[in-house]
Amino acid sequence: MMTKMINIAPLITSFLSTYDAKQKDQIWQQLSQRVRSFWTTRILSNDAGPLSDVECDEIIRILDRNGKGNTRDDEAVAKVMVPQGAWRRMLNEFHSNRPLGELVYAVLCETDGPRKAALIDELYIKNAGQKNNLTGPSGNTVCAYLAAFDPVNNLSIISLKDRRAVIDYFGLAHEIEWDNPSIGKRIVDSNRLILEGMLRMGLDGTARTIACFFYRPMVKELWKGEETVRRIDNKSISVTVPTVPDEDDEESFDNESVRESMQMQGLVARIGAAMGFTIWLPKADRSRVLKVWRPSPGVLLDELPLSYDSTTTKTIEQIDVLWLRKRSIARAFEVEHTTSVYSGLLRMADLVALQPNIHIKLHIVAPAEKREKVLQEIRRPVFSLLEGRALREMCTYLSYDNVKEIGDLKHLVHMSDEVIETYEEAAE
């Protein structure tokens, strides 16, 4: 990955001129002490009784911006997207399940990077299959606990997705593996790389200070990819451009469905290549898709030959499979394996919102059992408010079985891509 040529110094200067790091660090020293005391005196105490909602809520307000009772001026780690009741149950589970509570506490206290990563991995294994919001694929909850316990050394950029976007955009590291290493290693390494990278760039502060820098509006809009577009009624709506792959909710998929979606992504790419198209795959997906599809030289594009603005291009780059002829996109495919079947549709809708006059043919590819869900979502009223055309007029459904049928057709090399229209289903 090449480092982006970004002059970050003026952003740091502007941030430090308005952010009182010394005062904020003093506040967080007090908050972290309350969290530490709560662990030792309540969670790990021998008192067999449950923790009260009142004492849990005091800690939840520190962990979660959306915690009950928080105000706009209160300090909190981040918006963690964990319901209040789930937080309370989780804290009580740490109290009643002593081995689990002690393991989480060991994670929080560990200062050696490799050992901390190993403990986080152990926690994920121990908690596997438990629907308690603790060990999701984004790392949000574990990172929130770490930031509250030690805000000096642990970033309150709690999402691995956000950390990846920050690292990639600002070129904070040339080599970091996102797909293969364990969740513990990704949490620990991304935390270290951002802290070290910002120190090199001139921002010398606590992890909390550095995280607040990245969430300043003028900085966040750079790496987060936010864009304002206009609806058909001339009202403005905000579109967040995805800069890294989606994080699927822990409960929404299993390994088998992920493997099947990878096979399907590769099959869609193979069909397009057989018909003479060049193919685009998101760079984060390539290593796994290329295990099931071997393109001929020159078929898989390294860069998109498009003339759209950077915001639109970032959106297009994250679509699962693109078929291109010369410098034009013919068809775009999103392979949906999640329960919500929603992330791909949102990406398609963002694209249409950003480019109302775009004429790409859009397809959602999903298993037959998700057919009704896909068609229902395409018909959502919000997608009819897009300037230009409603999403249902541009986007169709293809089942896994139908894509397999197309892939089995003889003489694909002599066929037009219009054969897809025989198999697709519109959301009437």
Per-residue pLDDT tens digits for 304-338: 888 888 778 888 888 999 999 988 889 999 998 76
Contacts for 263 with CB less than 8 Å, ≥ 6 apart: 292
pTM over 0.75: no
On whether residue 230 sits in a domain, the answer given is no
User: Is residue 67 over pLDDT 80?
Assistant: yes
Say which DSSP state 73 is in: T
The Cα–Cα gap between 257 and 104 comes to 30
Parent domain of 95: 9-224
From 170, 202, 224, the end of a domain falls on 224
**Tokens 């989780």 belong to residue:** 90
More confident residue, 355 or 286: 286
Question: Residues 404-415: what's their mean pLDDT?
Answer: 92
304 with 196, same domain: the answer is: no
On whether residue 2 sits in a domain, the answer given is no
Contacts for 7 with CB less than 8 Å, ≥ 6 apart: none
How far CA 239 is from CA of 78, 192, 247, 319, 354, in Å, comes to: 21, 30, 18, 15, 8
Mean pLDDT of the chain: 86
Total domains present in the chain: 2
284 with 143, same domain: the answer is: no
Local structure of 75: helix, strand or coil: coil
210 with 116, same domain: the answer is: yes
More confident residue, 353 or 372: 372
What the block records as the tokens of 319 is 């679509």
pLDDT band at 152 (very low <50, low <70, confident <90, very high): very high
pLDDT band at 2 (very low <50, low <70, confident <90, very high): very low
Q: Which of 153-157, 202-206, 344-348, 354-358 has the lowest mean pLDDT?
A: 354-358
Local structure of 278: helix, strand or coil: strand
More confident residue, 139 or 244: 139
188 with 280, same domain: the answer is: no
Q: Within 10 A of 250 (CB to CB), how many other CB atoms are there?
A: 16
The Cα–Cα gap between 70 and 262 comes to 42
Cα 316 to chain center, whole Å?
16
Which residue in 255, 283, 245, 290 sits closest to 269, CA to CA? 290
User: Is residue 426 over pLDDT 70?
Assistant: yes
More confident residue, 345 or 397: 397
Local structure of 54: helix, strand or coil: helix
- How much of the chain exceeds pLDDT 90, in percent? 59
pLDDT for the residue numbered 151: 98
Q: Is residue 146 within 8 Å of 102, Cβ to Cβ?
A: no
On whether residue 26 sits in a domain, the answer given is yes
User: Is residue 5 over pLDDT 80?
Assistant: no
119 with 13, same domain: the answer is: yes
User: Is residue 363 over pLDDT 70?
Assistant: yes
86 with 137, same domain: the answer is: yes
What the block records as the tokens of 127 is 């908690």
220 with 267, same domain: the answer is: no
pLDDT for the residue numbered 103: 98
